[in-house]
Amino acid sequence: MDYLFVFLFVCLGVAMVLGGILASYLLAPRNPTKVKQSPYECGEETIGSSSINFNVAYYLFAILFLVFDVEAAFLFPWAVVLRELGIIGLIEVLMFVLVLVVGLVYAWKKGVLEWES
């Protein structure tokens, strides 16, 4: 039943936005002009395409995030049964975290965490 609710809430979110767009379609004026549809840049004419190159650092952070977020997901079951596993569980997780911390230190030394590089 919980997951039926989750599904229904997703439907509710979609319906809410589409309903809102429909309402504004019916109620709001529509008068698109070329100037109105052009990208807003504080009154300046846009130069070139808006699909510009952005800093590669974003990509590197995304990869790092992937590793650590998956790690956090692995830690959830351990955190729940921490008392039962006791010290052995803690040592195992410590080794697991250590491997990832080595990775973080490597990235740090390589300068991945520096925005300017």
Which residues in 82-101 contact another protein (CB under 8 A)? Answer: 82-84, 86-87, 90, 93-94, 97, 101
**Residue from 21, 92, 102, 110 that binds another protein (CB under 8 A)?**
21
- How far is 97 from 93, CA to CA, in rounded Å? 6
Count of Cβ atoms closer than 10 Å to residue 60 Cβ? 16
Helices and strands, counts by H and E, the chain? 4, 0
Q: What's the number of CA atoms in the CB half-sphere (13 Å) around residue 71?
A: 17
Q: How far is the CB of 33 from another protein (least distance, A)?
A: 10
Q: Compute the least distance from the CB of residue 67 to another protein, in Å.
A: 10
List the one residue from 45, 56, 81, 102 that touches another protein (CB under 8 A).
81
